[in-house]
Structure 1
Amino acid sequence: MTTPLRLLCFPYAGAGGSLFARWQGELADRGCPVEVVPVRLPGREGRAREPRFTELAPLVRALEADLTELLDEPHLMYGHSMGALVGYALTLRRQAGGAVLPRALLLAAHRAPHLPAPHIAPIDAPDAELAAALARLGGLPPLLLNHPEWLRALLPIIRDDLRVCADAASLHPQPVRVPLHLFAGEEDILVRVPEVLAWRRYAGLGCELRTVPGGHFFPRTHEGALLDEVACVVKREVTPRGVYGAA
């Protein structure tokens, strides 16, 4: 029996696998023969009791160990913001080790790794300041600003994830031998379209940019438009006969 092509999905800072809860059905409706696999990160949702990571390299090592069986089978990776950085770093690690690579990387809403990390707010900023900055970007429902008990549960996760993002400077970025499909929000004031396009420096097998309506968190606000574009990429990775292309 043919192994299904899987789409491993990495969320943005503070989010969990539930961000991609609708993707399986929505992509199926668009005729995509893919199995969506939301990647669950430690310290949130069903893994809330596990310690969170604050550095990129240890997180990537742990994810590779957790996902070994999936990573050795045909797959794509989609990563949004922090998730794009994680997906790229994981691919870079596996390339260095001679392991199976994804058919393609779908990288959204993150600057190329040679550029400075975008500034949201100081990581150690007071809760109110950090929450207000996230709300301005659309990453935090304004309703939460009136519920400090919810913020006390959420903001430590976001702070640790922002530390992971800040650790991008520890990477030694280089081209990866997979196609890069880049996604940028047309109204994203945190990560501009040219900053996303700068990923083409690391494309060993081609690169293309797609813009999507909305700001930095367009998977939440314009999910349908994003999935239309993701579906185009996924369909391209399957031959007309339904046989997956060579790695």
Structure 2
Amino acid sequence: MTRYLSPKRPDHEPPEGTRLFCFPYAGGGASAYRRWQRGLDALDARVRVVPVQLPGREERYDEPRFTDLDALVTDLDAQLDTELSEPHLLYGHSMGALIASALVRRRHRRGAHLPLALVLSAYRAPHLPAPAMAHPDAGDRELAAALADLGGIPQALLAHPGFLSALLPVARDDLRLCLSGTAEPPGPLPVPLHLFAGRADRLVSVGEVLAWRQYAGAGHTARTLPGGHFFVREDESGFLHELAALTRRYATERITA
């Protein structure tokens, strides 16, 4: 098994079905998605959740982190090629959306298998300038406060130096990775796009998320949901209902095709 697919099992044994590869937000890891399988099964989503674990976090904490998007995507493409040769969907939130879309572009350029659809949440379209966010080299207090303000860190954990000493290096390198990926080539993506935005997101506006529509070479949908930048966590049940409606559609299309 590739090191990108965590050996830790989800909290619920997943069924066979179309695989949904989930890429994490900055500072996050595969654990953000391990509860999703049970919730999606309850909604008859007909999908197998596959959290992608990037190096330098959680059980891969001691591995060097990528700070260059092209280098990361090149490695992901090589390591996941076998898994991505079967019918699948890609999902990414914030930084994860950047990674997932770049992976589709790379695989399209080399004629590899593409996902049935690309699901993106809380990330601006690639032609737009980077949002105003703490610089990767900002002081610990400034960076932690910025992350907490967006909902990325519970306020109660700001007083725990051990937690911050583990999280902040990951967040810094992830911010560097995001900044390295601002020159994405123009042109449509050859798969359906499904866009989600938080109405109260102070980092990425609804309009900046919906601007992905100009890259929709195979159709798109767009939904705005209550909540801020981490609306998928604020109302996880509500978001999973939206996601299940999408995944059922692709499962049905495969059966009737």
TM-score over 0.5 for the pair: yes
Quick check: 1:127 aligned with 2:136? no
Matched with 2:231 is 218
CA shift, 1:244, in A, is 7.1
Does residue 90 (structure 1) correspond to residue 106 (structure 2)? The answer is: no
Equivalent position amino acid for 1:12 in 2: Y
Say which is worse superposed, 163-172 or 23-32, in terms of deviation: 163-172
- Counterpart pick for 2:202 among 160, 164, 189: 189
- Counterparts in 2 of 1:1-247, with a 5 A limit? 4-239=17-252, 243=255, 245=257
Secondary structure of 2:255's counterpart equals: coil
Asked if 1 retains the 8 angstrom alpha-carbon contact of 2:70 and 2:181, the reply is no
CA displacement, residues 193-227 of structure 1 (integer Å, 9 cap, x when unaligned): 11000001111101111112110011221111111
Q: Could you list the per-position Cα deviations for residues 72-111 of structure 1 after superposition, in whole angstroms to 9, with x for gaps in the alignment? A: 1000011000000000000000000001000000000000
Change (3 A) 1:20 1:221: same
The answer (yes or no) to whether the contact 2:127–2:184 under 8 Å persists in 1 is no
Q: How many residues align?
A: 242
More deviation in 114-123 or 29-38?
Answer: 114-123
Alpha-carbon offset, residue 174 of structure 1? 2.2
Stretches of structure 1 that go unaligned for 5 or more consecutive residues are none
Deviant stretches of 4+, over 6 Å? none
What SS is found at the alignment partner of 1:68?
coil
1:237–1:244: 8 Å Cα contact kept in structure 2? no
Root-mean-square deviation (Å):
1.3
Give the alignment's TM-score, normalised by structure 2: 0.91
Counterpart code for 2:172: R
- Once residues 187 and 171 of structure 1 are traced to their aligned partners in structure 2, the CA distance between those partners, rounded to angstroms, is 26
Instruction: In structure 2, give the amino acid aligned to 1:40.
Output: Q
Deviations 1:38-69 (A, max 9, x none): 00000011211211000100000111122111
Is the CA contact (8 Å cut-off) linking 1:7 and 1:78 kept in structure 2? yes
What's the secondary structure of 1:77's corresponding residue? strand
Mapped to 2, the partners of 1:191 and 1:216 lie a distance apart of: 7
Cα 1:133–1:230 change in 2 (3 A) is same
- Tell me, what secondary structure is at the counterpart of 2:49? strand
TM-score w.r.t. the length of structure 1 is: 0.95
- Whichever residue aligns with residue 149 of structure 2, its letter is R
Supply the AA of the counterpart residue of 2:134. A
Kindly indicate whether the alpha-carbon contact (under 8 Å) linking 2:30 and 2:53 is maintained by their aligned counterparts in 1: yes
Once the two structures are superposed, residues 111-135 of structure 1 have per-residue CA deviations (whole angstroms, 9 ceiling, x without a partner) of 0000011122111110000101111
| Unaligned stretches of 5+ residues in structure 2 | 1-15
- The residue aligned with 2:6 is none
Q: Secondary structure at the match of 2:224?
A: strand
